[in-house]
């Protein structure tokens, strides 16, 4: 176990949840100057872009159990590293959500059950989308996210630009899917805020583990079979 890598994954996922979910909870609809869906989408993309430059050389900047599993499926990551990476990511996500909860609860009248950037379907979907719609959306969005990651980090790709492609890719994914599920594509991100919100966020959390992992592994296998250098 490499503690430097684990620390980097913890810090990076902490920043993703605090920066991305924090923008949704604290700034999305702030009176008169709210950043809205576009701003939240860019916030998530910027967390990944900034961390990719900051810690990519240490841990690879996965920040996401689905990414680690997708890279493993694609032959880019060792199986022995999966448990330490995923554990660090989930703990980082919970820590980021905890700090966000402390900040958000400092406002009078704050109610975590009224919205804490959680993911959901049915009545818990921002647009009221069904479980099937949410499942398909999360599988496909995570599949495409991993294809972007695998392609932009391929040794044949232009060097040094992967963080930009990945950050903008995550931004686009949020622009598409926030109305459907509030966008997960990341089980650690979903778990962190769900723990504090409770209720349906916990009971529906299974989908935001299963769908991203399925999408990521499919992408890893597809890239390995059809896109990797022979």
pLDDT band at 106 (very low <50, low <70, confident <90, very high): very high
pTM > 0.85 = yes
Number of domains in the chain: 1
192 within 8 A of 96, measured Cβ to Cβ: yes
Backbone torsions φ then ψ of 14, nearest 5 degrees: -55, -45
Surface-to-core class of residue 168, CB atoms within 10 Å of its CB (0-12 exposed, 13-18 middle, 19+ buried): middle
Mean pLDDT, residues 74-98: 98
Residues 172-223: tens digit of each pLDDT: 999 999 999 999 999 999 999 999 999 999 999 999 999 999 999 999 999 9
Specify the pLDDT at position 114.
Answer: 86
Q: Which residue has the tokens 């920066």?
A: 19
Specify the pLDDT at position 100.
Answer: 98
Q: Domain residues for 129?
A: 3-227
42 within 8 A of 175, measured Cβ to Cβ: no
> Residue 16: which of 63, 82, 65 has the closest Cα?
63
- Token duo for residue 31: 């009176």
190 within 8 A of 119, measured Cβ to Cβ: yes
> Residue 52: which of 61, 44, 63 has the closest Cα?
61
What sign results for the dihedral spanned by CA atoms 88, 134, 70, 24? negative
Residues 5-39: tens digit of each pLDDT: 999 999 999 999 999 999 999 998 877 778 999 99
CATH of the domain at 22: 1.20.1080.10
| Helix pair 3-16, 187-197: axis angle to 10 deg | 60
């Amino acid at each position: 176990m490499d503690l430097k890598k684990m620390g980097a994954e913890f810090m990076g996922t902490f920043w993703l949840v605090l920066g991305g979910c924090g923008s949704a909870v604290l700034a999305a609809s702030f009176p008169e100057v709210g950043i809205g869906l576009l701003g939240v989408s860019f916030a998530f993309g910027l967390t990944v872009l900034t961390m990719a430059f900051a810690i990519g050389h240490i841990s690879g900047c996965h920040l996401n159990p689905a990414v680690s599993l997708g890279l493993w499926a694609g032959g880019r990551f060792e199986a022995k590293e999966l448990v330490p990476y995923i554990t660090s990511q989930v703990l980082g996500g919970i820590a980021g959500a905890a700090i966000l909860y402390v900040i958000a609860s400092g406002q009078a009248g704050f109610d975590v059950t009224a919205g804490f950037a959680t993911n959901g379907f049915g009545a818990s979907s921002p647009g009221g989308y069904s479980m099937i719609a949410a499942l398909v959306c999360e599988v496909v969005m995570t599949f495409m996210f991993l294809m972007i990651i695998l392609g932009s980090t391929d040794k044949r790709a232009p060097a040094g630009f992967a963080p930009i492609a990945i950050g903008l890719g995550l931004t686009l994914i949020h622009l598409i899917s926030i109305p459907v599920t509030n966008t997960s594509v990341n089980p650690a991100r979903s778990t962190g805020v769900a723990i504090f919100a409770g209720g349906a966020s916990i009971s529906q959390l299974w989908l935001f583990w299963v769908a991203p992992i399925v999408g990521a592994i499919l992408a890893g296998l597809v890239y390995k079979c059809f896109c990797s250098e022979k």
